[in-house]
A and B are shown apart, each in its own frame.
Chain A
Amino acid sequence: MSYQPSPLRLQREEARRLASRRSTWLALLSTVVVGVILILVVTGSPGFARVRETFFSAHYAWKALPQVLSGLWLNLRVMLIAEIFVLIFGLLIALARTTKSPVLLPVRLLAAAYTDIFRGLPLLLVLLLVGLGIPGLQISWLPNSAVLLGTVSLVLTYSAYVAEVIRAGIEAVNPAQRMAARALGFTQTQTQRFVILPQALRKVTPPLLNDLVSLQKDSGLISVLGAIDAIRAAGIQTAQSFNFTPYLVAGALFVALTIPLTRFTDWLTRRQDRARQQQGQW
């Protein structure tokens, strides 16, 4: 017996097709309307000609590009190195905060104090304290490079955030998992390593990547210590010409750097949501 779709089904499908076509048109229309209004408001403003010249000058953009790019290369290296250390320290601090061993109470307290302090302190303040304070001590064997101290500040601040994200993941794993592992004879450490952490890290990958995106853009703040990164390079160009386009160039480059990671985070979140939906876990 071959299946013949009933007229009812065809009718329903036709109605659905119409509805979906209508929403496509509506979306298109509203986008065009909003776009046109925005363009009219901005270009019609009295100062538009001057703003365009100071912020969107193709000439200055082109001129500043090589310097800004070479500054960005520094940002890129700082980001990557900071990200590696942030993930390592964040994991260690999270583990320290979730241990139950009485011997490790001081470690647990220290870790708690650390996350409290560094999540509360503005990054700019940490940069100034570390970047200016440590060289100020004049201890000969301590480093005083702006790049190095800037990276240390980033690691200090972001490790605290990442530690909290990972800790949330560890605590979100069903306690029955721990019980099942212990019942099989796994030690605390083995349970953590083979059963709890793999699940915890999977759960928190999207917020973790989100923190890394934030770290990437904040790598631009090391310019306050005098490191010649993309923002500093743009600032130098601006100071020479009184044209702000180089800042915009730097900004565009930062966005370009973070977009792959943000897209990847979105994609991962959507995939996890779908998986959860399929299992009916809402």
Chain B
Amino acid sequence: MAGKILEIKNLRKSFGQDLVLADLSLTLPEHSVKVLIGASGSGKSTLLRCVNLLEAIDDGEIFLDGEDISAYGIDPDVVRSSIGSVFQSFNLFPHLSVLENITLAPRHVHGKSKMAATNEAMELLARFGLAEKADQYPDLLSGGQQQRVAILRAVINRPKVLLLDEVTSALDPILIAEVLSLISELKTAGMTMMIATHEMGFARQVADELLFLHNGRICEVGDPAILLESPKTPELQDFLAALRGAGRL
């Protein structure tokens, strides 16, 4: 039985008067993939940002691999170095080449030698068909390539969990496919992931469990096929109907 990588207990977060996460709890077992779906503003992104401590939480607890990372006195830099985060807007460092982007954290956060970091990065780039881009600057890459580099930049640090926040929202369908196939390969390799997405086809394919968020609560949970075929709650039924109407399902 694999251990719990992430355990969230009664997480509460509001921005001013806005309650964004309302006493939300979930556990993420090792090597599992949970996919968060829900309308914009349902709290998906905020949940991910709370987990990597980019947002301060109001109440509740977050455990990463058994350690309470929401405790007072925890060094957020150390926590973040063991969590991988990828965002909608790739945020590659434009002044650094692809290789330098990927090796910066291994060298300066994880104390690897330049040689070791470079070897590891080249291996990773080769594995995902990006080896010939190693010396290029992000500007010259397609959006799909940039996002794949951004994912590898997080993966090289061997994070305990990888958080992907709508990583395909800024891409066209062909580029989306590139990025999604990379994520599927990571799943096969056993990466523990929490993914927020609007791509239902992908969610169904990659999720061990689907979580539907509505107004900061987990409204419905379950096997992706079952959840998408026969939603129980009216909220999820409405959400899926809206997606179908927009031609996104």
A contact residues vs B (CB 8 Å cutoff): 174, 176-177, 179-187, 190, 194-195, 198-199, 202, 279
Indicate whether A183 sits within 8 Å of B85 (C-beta atoms), given known contacts A177-B93, A198-B95, A279-B139.
yes
Residues of chain B from 103 to 144 with CB closer than 8 A to chain A in the complex = 104-105, 108-110, 139
Bound form: Cα–Cα A80–B93 in Å: 33
Of all A-B residue pairs in the complex, the 10 with the closest CB atoms, nearest first, are A185-B81, A180-B91, A183-B85, A184-B105, A185-B109, A185-B80, A198-B95, A176-B91, A187-B77, A199-B95
Residues of A within 8 A of B104 (CB): 184, 194
B154 at the interface (CB under 8 A from A): yes
Q: Who on chain A is nearest to B76 by CB?
A: A182
A-B contact pairs, 15 of them (CB 8 A): A177-B91, A180-B91, A182-B76, A183-B52, A183-B85, A184-B80, A184-B153, A185-B77, A185-B82, A185-B157, A186-B77, A186-B108, A194-B93, A194-B104, A279-B139
Q: Which of B76, B95, B108, B109 has the most CB of A within 10 A?
A: B95
Q: Which of A177, A180, A185 has the most CB of B within 10 A?
A: A185
* Cross-chain pair count, CB within 8 angstroms: 60
Indicate whether A185 sits within 8 Å of B95 (C-beta atoms), given known contacts A176-B87, A180-B87, A279-B139.
no
B78 at the interface (CB under 8 A from A): yes
Shortest distance from the beta carbon of B4 to any chain A beta carbon, whole Å: 22
B46 at the interface (CB under 8 A from A): no
Interchain CB contact under 8 A, A183 and B80: yes
Q: Which of B91, B139, B157 has the most CB of A within 10 A?
A: B91
B94 at the interface (CB under 8 A from A): yes
20 extra A-B contacts, CB within 8 A, seeds A182-B77, A184-B157: A176-B89, A177-B93, A180-B85, A180-B87, A182-B54, A183-B54, A183-B85, A183-B87, A184-B80, A184-B153, A185-B78, A185-B81, A186-B105, A186-B109, A187-B77, A190-B109, A195-B93, A198-B95, A199-B94, A202-B95
Bound form: Cα–Cα A176–B90 in Å: 9
Residues of A within 8 A of B95 (CB): 198-199, 202
Bound form: Cα–Cα A194–B95 in Å: 10
Bound form: Cα–Cα A176–B170 in Å: 15
Q: Who on chain B is nearest to A185 by CB?
A: B81
Bound form: Cα–Cα A199–B91 in Å: 13
What band does the interface of chain B fall in when counting residues whose beta carbon is under 8 Å from A?
20 to 34
Shortest distance from the beta carbon of B91 to any chain A beta carbon, whole Å: 4
Q: Which of A180, A184, A198 has the most CB of B within 10 A?
A: A184
Residues of A within 8 A of B92 (CB): 180
Q: Who on chain A is nearest to B90 by CB?
A: A180
B contact residues vs A (CB 8 Å cutoff): 52, 54, 76-78, 80-83, 85, 87, 89, 91-95, 104-105, 108-110, 139, 153-154, 157
Q: Who on chain B is nearest to A193 by CB?
A: B108
Residues of A within 8 A of B83 (CB): 183
Bound form: Cα–Cα A127–B89 in Å: 50
Interchain CB contact under 8 A, A184 and B109: yes
The one of A174, A177, A194 that contacts B108, using a Cβ cutoff of 8 Å? A194
Bound form: Cα–Cα A279–B82 in Å: 34
Bound form: Cα–Cα A198–B104 in Å: 14
Bound form: Cα–Cα A182–B80 in Å: 7
Residues of A within 8 A of B52 (CB): 183
Bound form: Cα–Cα A218–B120 in Å: 52
Residues of B within 8 A of A176 (CB): 87, 89, 91
Residues of B within 8 A of A179 (CB): 54, 87, 91
Shortest distance from the beta carbon of A277 to any chain B beta carbon, whole Å: 12
Residues of B within 8 A of A185 (CB): 77-78, 80-82, 105, 109-110, 157
Interchain CB contact under 8 A, B87 and A184: no
Shortest distance from the beta carbon of B146 to any chain A beta carbon, whole Å: 12
Bound form: Cα–Cα A198–B101 in Å: 13
Bound form: Cα–Cα A174–B93 in Å: 10
Residues of B within 8 A of A202 (CB): 95
Bound form: Cα–Cα A176–B52 in Å: 15
Shortest distance from the beta carbon of A272 to any chain B beta carbon, whole Å: 13
Shortest distance from the beta carbon of B247 to any chain A beta carbon, whole Å: 28
Q: Which of A176, A183, A194 has the most CB of B within 10 A?
A: A183
Shortest distance from the beta carbon of B78 to any chain A beta carbon, whole Å: 7
